[in-house]
């Protein structure tokens, strides 16, 4: 089933680029990874938290807007499918919602923009590094389960930046 016509959603509004009317910017892995490294090296855990929160808030509002727009998408399955499709079509990678409950979830990513970018620029790291994706997942599930921002906490159990086979995320209530 095609949930929404992706090619028609990505458009231009004058000089701005929009997805379903919301302004976006195209950035490459050099910038995204430079920003991550700057945050981590300068602010440490506070920088990691800033990356997470920024992605969480942004995705929360973006998906809220999309679900309001596509109000026929009501079931959990179709909402998760739309979220995965959005992640993939934004060039962020592949995300699999493996087990999702209102109070607990396991999610895997077999490919991601941030992993590809980090490995290309800096090679393997010793700690999990998908802070953007953790925040993105938190925001997505908060919208889908109609919970407030910050309701979930997402941890990364395995990470391809560490050369694990896939990235695995565990979601629980804060």
92 belongs to the binding site for another protein (CB under 8 A): yes
Nearest to 22 by CA among 68, 56, 80, 76: 68
- Out of 70, 81, 88, 170, name the contact with another protein by CB under 8 A: 88
117 belongs to the binding site for another protein (CB under 8 A): yes
76 belongs to the binding site for another protein (CB under 8 A): no
46 belongs to the binding site for another protein (CB under 8 A): yes
The backbone region for 173, taken as left when phi is positive above 0, alpha when psi lies in -120 to 50, beta otherwise, is beta
Residue 107 burial (CB count, 10 A):
24
57 belongs to the binding site for another protein (CB under 8 A): yes
15 belongs to the binding site for another protein (CB under 8 A): yes
SS3 at position 108: strand
d(CA 159, CA 99): 18
CA-angle at 28, arms to 142 and 41, nearest 5°:
75
Sites of contact with another protein (CB under 8 A): 6-7, 10, 12, 14-17, 19, 22-32, 34-35, 37-39, 42-43, 46-47, 50-51, 53-55, 57-58, 61-62, 87-94, 110-113, 116-117, 120
């Amino acid at each position: 089933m095609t949930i929404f016509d992706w090619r028609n959603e990505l458009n231009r509004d004058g000089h701005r680029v929009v997805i379903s009317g919301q302004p976006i910017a195209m950035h490459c892995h050099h910038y995204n990874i430079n920003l991550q490294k700057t945050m981590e090296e300068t602010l440490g855990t506070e920088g990691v938290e800033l990356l997470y929160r920024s992605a969480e808030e942004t995705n929360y509002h973006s998906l809220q807007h999309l679900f309001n727009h596509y109000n026929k998408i009501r079931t959990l399955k179709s909402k998760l499918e739309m979220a995965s499709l959005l992640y993939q079509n934004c060039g962020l990678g592949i995300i699999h919602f493996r087990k999702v409950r209102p109070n607990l979830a396991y999610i895997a990513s077999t490919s991601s923009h941030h992993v590809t970018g980090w490995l290309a620029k800096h090679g393997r790291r010793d700690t999990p590094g998908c802070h953007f994706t953790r925040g993105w997942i938190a925001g997505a599930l908060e919208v889908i389960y109609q919970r407030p921002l910050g309701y979930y906490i997402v941890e990364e159990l395995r990470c391809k930046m560490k050369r694990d086979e896939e990235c695995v995320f565990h979601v629980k209530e804060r």
